[in-house]
Chains A and B, each alone.
Chain A
Amino acid sequence: MDRATFQDRKTISAPMHAPLRHDSAHKHVAGTADYIDDMPEPEGTLHAALGMSDRAHAEIVSMDLSAVRAAPGVVWVMTGADVPGVNDISPSGRHDEPVLAEGKVEFHGQPVFAVIANTREAARRAARLAKIEYRELPHWTDVTDTLAHGAQLVTDPLTLSRGDADTALANAPRRLGGQMRIGGQDHFYLESHIALAIPGEDDEVTVWSSTQHPSEVQHMVGHALGVPSNAVTVQVRRMGGGFGGKETQSNQFAAIAAIAAKRLKRPVKFRPDRDEDMTATGKRHDFLVSYEAGFDDDGRIHAVKANYAARCGFSSDLSGPVTDRALFHADNAYFYPHVQLTSQPLKTHTVSNTAFRGFGGPQGMVGGERIIEEIAYALGKDPLAIRKANFYGEAGSARSLTPYHQPVEDNIVGRIVDELERSSDYQARRAAILDFNAKSRVIRKGIALTPVKFGISFTATWYNQAGALVHVYQDGSIHLNHGGTEMGQGLFTKVAQVLADAFQVDITQVKITATTTAKVPNTSATAASSGSDLNGMAAFDAARQIKERLVAFAAEKWNLPPEEIAFVPHHVRVGETLIPFADFIRQAYLARVQLSAAGFYKTPKIHWDRAKGIGSPFYYFAYGAAVSEVSIDTLTGEYQVDRVDILHDVGRSLNPAIDMGQVEGAFVQGMGWLTTEELWWDDKGRLRTHAPSTYKIPLASDRPKIFNVQLAEWSENAEQTIGRSKAVGEPPFMLAISVLEALSMAVASIADYRHCPRLDAPATPERVLMAVERLKHL
């Protein structure tokens, strides 16, 4: 496009709220988007591989690594004793997670040593040659075993309580209780973990790391090397997926690569094989939820008491905040007049579980929805009627207080559910399904409408801050950097839209750059769905500063009041004159205006007192609802998802195309968690589902056959977020609970809906068939 045409255009290409495609889409399809393993390797690059424990819990009696050292191509074999700083990468500060195990191992697959060799293949081959002698100790891998063996905790539990749950339970007209197992989930990001460390001068090292949390990798690498943070630079342009799995789990790979690089004075790349990645890194926590509920004949809940016991693995990692968030979402969208919720973060001899999209919230919510289901089957009613009877009330009403004493002030769940119930034709379809099931012998159907209310903000309040660095160059081109990381969610695109909108230029004028700890320090993990909220605001703040300087400059130069200066598409309007943006910037430069700014943002209003269990940990809530319809085969337990309708709230969307992708993708990922994705440990404590051949995430042919997804276009964030948008990464994940409950209804048809099938998750075909069998014999 020539300059004249460009200057005539009255709009910019991608303001906020435009459905712009992902900034890297062209490169993705062309195969030219570089991931860390695709970068040209510096000359002399060495490769690392892990030596892993083959015991779940044992003392290391001796380690004979001579054959490893003697193997072809091996340059160095590193053990925990070789860590120059502190052999610890615990993100919780509890010093319970070594880089490499020393003295004892606490899970099958725990990294014990690392091999550094000329090629990756040589390193992997050599790693198999170790002779390690162990003295075995008793191990327990699952929640039930652990509860039976002292129930040791990895971190402090949490209690949330309001009112008097025990008395209210005792006095309730009806009462029920039960247990539910909720399985974990592997992230299965398509790009496995990777780190490339390049040694620098003195104590310096640069690490390219596939991480959602560069600042923590920087901190951990420094800690393990025994050097200050200012010696370590961590960079990442993009990840091939993260989903929480690269929040803390990148530390290990980065630390090993950095230690070896400094020791050997050569670049070291560490890309574990898929099996090593899935064995040695943490997953979503599985839970055993024990619940009691008191309610009345109208289905109104009087009291809820529940305990959430979680398989945390051998160390604390993020299990504290994850199990906390489970409790924060045990209410989902429902008011519990009296409530007592407790967490039990259990130590198990398994890999340490970690963040995963929803961060405990999904498990909390599944437990809460099970209670709704139980009440519905106990009363012989549609679970949707029970839901509606228990929704939080209007802001300020007596029914608006959460178990953590934060009032729900932005409640739109009623409107979302009503609209979806109508648009999906829920009632007529449910009636048709009841009719179908009455006539069909083998195939049964189920339908369920479940809502989502998800709290947005890190519950660690200090994490709710972000920085951005924006430069405007003399030619009017803009350089954007911020602390958020791009893992596919479109964060970079959204923040670039914020900046393009602020300066009123085309988004092609904004250069998106790799996240690096050298440009924006002390960043938070790109997690908790907060990426756009925090970094969008930080970038907006940087733009504001530069624009204020530019306005002041123009006001002085052209002797006009500041109100007469405006940023309009591709121009700055100075009084009646339109100056092309680049020309205006050039003049500002010549007048020595600072054209660079560091933006900053911290979320207002939030506070949280964990000891008391009281506060307002969330800035706002995101809402949504889904209706799922399924068919099951009662002879084998096989099933399919026939139709899904979703109405989801993202406030005023920053980018509806990207947000739709988040909603659809999160739903299918959530569906995988609750259906076919099963983690299976054998009696030796060895995870046997550690690759896609054995661990089954959804395929294209598993997605709903009919999939109607809508954003609630009328919604606008009640709080002053960037463009009044809402976070989108995690909330829609939990829409998939509707699939689990629809399966449950199909199973319930076997016993004429008189019993809650108590279908555990994941509802594999086996669990569905076994639930059918149970109901047949009731």
Chain B
Amino acid sequence: MEIQSNTIRFVLNDEEIALADVPATRTLLDWLRLHRRLTGTKEGCAEGDCGACTVLVGRLLDGALVYESVNACIRLLGSMNATHVVTVEHLASADGALHPVQQALVDHHGSQCGFCTPGFVMSLYGLWLADDRPGRPEIERALQGNLCRCTGYEPIVKAAEAMAAARPSAVFDPIERMREKVTEKLAALAPKETIRLGAPGDRVIVPACVDDLAEVLAQEPKATVVAGSTDVGLWVTKQMRDLDPVVFINHLPELQTISLSPEGLTIGAGVTYTQACDALAGLVPALRPLIGRIGGEQVRNMGTIGGNIANGSPIGDTPPPLIALGARLTLRSTAGRRELPLEDFFIAYGKQDRLPGEFVESLFVPTPPAGEHFAVYKVSKRRDEDISALCGAFRIALDANGRVSAARFCFGGMAGTPKRASHVEAFLKGRPWTEETVSAARLAFETDYTPLTDWRASADYRMLAAKNLLTRFLLESSGEPARLARFEELA
């Protein structure tokens, strides 16, 4: 297949697709349902929260074909170049025989109204491909992005346990059957030059490399840069914003690098939460359970650490721990690179230190010195797949006498930006790390923060919980159990 610079090319189930007409805000879901009449994939919420629209997307990562569940409702069609889109229609064999994942759901009465079911099938299929012995923690994690209102989930989880064992020959499985062919195909579809589609007012740009991206943004400083579209997708489906041009960066290999040195970890801005999790947890184990509570699996497969920072939200979950850890951000433009402490990037609500033409290129997380205590606590109405009411990250160093020699605390949800608790930190400095000290330090939170009341929590609750999290940190750093864990191994 010859690459053309005015076409988005990908594979849909077992069919090659080439699209020259791709509106910048067309979602993958609308295209599947309205243009391809693949109606097995449903729209439940159009904001990436219910999972009824779940499909698998295969892409090449370091040459290997990886399939991940994604929300088709907020995934933009323009981002699909060089991918393999797998919908529920692709699973059953031609004679109608169900895939083991589907059969297990039938056998365990895992569907009632059935509307969420194709989405569950696809999430479980993603799990089935990745893990042949998932336990309940893995199953629950794989299903965090799928809502069911009928079953209470118990039969679905039982089906997930049963399906793991059901593995007929690889030939049976539609993805395994095509794996080699698709790998070759996708390798050939990686853009060699920037793909440009559409007319002024409605343009899609898919740069071929990071240098091209810098050029594009120099010419189009007002462009909307889209990596995972877990936020921009909602601008489209909920706010019906016109975006022009949309520049897709989710495919750029240079933005997906992860490199570890003794000094720390460098993560490309296009690395998804899923990709970043092992590396970040390797550096700071407390980050694993936090990342496991960001969005659902589909959102973690799409959303990027760079995007979580670049959109400047005061309730993004990665900035508080990253700021507490002293992370630094690299911004890039045609003018070159600029590095700044992450906390300086967030200037005010809705305002970040990003110049026209600049984009977030990478993040550096320094290796924490040995002997420090670190914790990050997310508090939300529902444990999983919820936006934080508040998120507090704590890092503390003690001297030989048990006094606080250094403290870096940062909270999300307590101000218009992710913000350090500088008065609390200052109060603690030099004092013994004891309950008496912490009890006295609590008052300083009121100097640091004036939280808001909204549907996630009241100002009073946010303030009280923030203070109590410091108490929790003290107790945990001295070995006393002070929080719930549904599964001990994930604590």
Contact = CB atoms under 8 A, between A and B. Distances in A.
Interface of A: 21-22, 24-35, 37-38, 40, 121, 124-125, 128, 187-192, 238-243, 273-275, 441-443, 487-490, 631-633, 635-640, 657-658, 660-661, 664-669, 676, 678, 680, 688-689, 691-694, 696-703, 705, 707, 709, 764-766, 769-770, 773
Given A125-B240, A764-B381, A29 B52 contact: no
B121 A696 contact: no
18 contacts: A238-B114, A241-B113, A274-B46, A441-B480, A489-B112, A667-B152, A669-B152, A680-B455, A693-B45, A693-B387, A699-B382, A699-B383, A700-B143, A700-B156, A701-B140, A701-B141, A766-B389, A773-B464
B384 interface: yes
Contacts of A709: 154
Interface string B82-111: 000001110110001010001101110111
Contacts of A635: 465, 468-469, 471-472, 482-483
A273 B149 CA distance: 18
Contacts of A191: 42, 44, 113, 115
B392 to A, nearest CB: 10
A488 B112 contact: yes
A696 B381 contact: yes
Given A31-B118, A190-B148, A688-B454, A699 B384 contact: yes
B47 A274 contact: yes
Nearest to A696: B382
A434 B191 CA distance: 65
Contacts of A765: 379-381, 389
- For the complex of A and B, list the 4 residue pairs with the smallest distance between their C-beta atoms, beginning with the closest: A31-B40, A488-B113, A240-B115, A28-B114
Q: Which interface residue of B88, B115, B118, B386 has the most chain A CB atoms within 10 A?
A: B115
Nearest to B146: A700
Interface string B131-175: 000000001110110111111111111000000000000000000
Given A190-B44, A664-B155, A765-B381, A29 B118 contact: yes
A31 B88 contact: yes
Contacts of A25: 105-106, 109, 111, 114
Contacts of B381: 676, 678, 696, 764-766
Q: Which interface residue of B103, B105, B113, B456 has the most chain A CB atoms within 10 A?
A: B113
A443 B485 CA distance: 11
B387 to A, nearest CB: 7
Q: DSSP majority for the A interface?
A: loop
A341 B143 CA distance: 44
Interface string B269-285: 00000000000000000
B116 interface: yes
B439 to A, nearest CB: 13
Interface string B353-366: 00000000000000
B317 interface: no
Contacts, number: 273
Contacts of B471: 635
A33 B87 CA distance: 15
A633 B361 CA distance: 39
A673 to B, nearest CB: 12
Contact of B486 (A189, A274, A701): A701
Contacts of B192: none
Contacts of A694: 387, 455-456
Given A678-B455, A700-B156, A30 B113 contact: no
A128 B241 CA distance: 11
A32 B384 CA distance: 30
B147 A697 contact: yes
Given A700-B157, A701-B140, A705-B486, A766 B461 contact: yes
A699 B115 contact: no
Contacts of A32: 40
Contacts of A31: 39-41, 87-89, 117-118, 121
A475 B287 CA distance: 65
A268 B113 CA distance: 25
B475 interface: yes
Interface string B334-367: 0000000000000000000000000000000000
B458 interface: yes
A774 to B, nearest CB: 12
A699 B152 contact: no
B457 A766 contact: yes
B484 A241 contact: no
Contact of A665 (B91, B150, B461, B486): B150
B483 A29 contact: no
Contact of B383 (A28, A640, A678): A640
B390 to A, nearest CB: 9
Contact of A703 (B50, B111, B153, B454): B153
Nearest to A487: B113
B481 interface: yes
A190 B98 contact: no
B425 interface: no
Interface residues of B, number: 89
Contacts of A665: 112, 149-152
Interface of B: 30, 33, 37, 39-47, 49-50, 52, 87-89, 91-92, 96, 98, 102-103, 105-107, 109-118, 121, 139-141, 143-144, 146-157, 237-238, 240, 377, 379-387, 389, 454-458, 460-461, 464-465, 468-469, 471-472, 475, 480-484, 486
A30 B92 contact: yes
Contacts of B465: 635-637, 769
Q: Which interface residue of B382, B387, B483 has the most chain A CB atoms within 10 A?
A: B382
A24 B117 CA distance: 11
Contact of A30 (B40, B49, B146, B472): B40
Contacts of B41: 31
A22 B46 contact: no
B106 A29 contact: yes
Given A442-B482, A692-B49, A700 B109 contact: no
B149 A692 contact: no
B111 A22 contact: yes
B149 A241 contact: yes
Given A636-B379, A692-B45, 17 more contacts: A22-B114, A24-B114, A31-B121, A189-B113, A243-B149, A273-B238, A488-B112, A488-B114, A635-B483, A636-B483, A661-B152, A668-B153, A676-B381, A688-B454, A697-B147, A699-B153, A700-B157
Contacts of A29: 98, 102-103, 105-106, 110-111, 117-118, 121
A135 B475 CA distance: 56
B147 A699 contact: yes
Given A21-B106, A769-B461, A769-B465, A30 B91 contact: yes
A632 B484 CA distance: 7
A640 B111 contact: no
Nearest to B123: A700
Contacts of B46: 273-274
Contacts of A657: 109
A666 B149 CA distance: 9
A683 to B, nearest CB: 10
A75 to B, nearest CB: 18
Given A664-B154, A707-B154, A692 B50 contact: yes
A21 B109 contact: yes
Contact of B115 (A30, A35, A125): A35
A33 B384 contact: no
A487 B147 CA distance: 16
B92 to A, nearest CB: 5
B151 A661 contact: yes
A13 B457 CA distance: 53
Nearest to A670: B152
A271 to B, nearest CB: 8
Given A27-B114, A669-B149, A702-B383, A691 B47 contact: yes
B468 to A, nearest CB: 4
A190 B114 CA distance: 9
Contact of B113 (A239, A441, A702, A766): A239
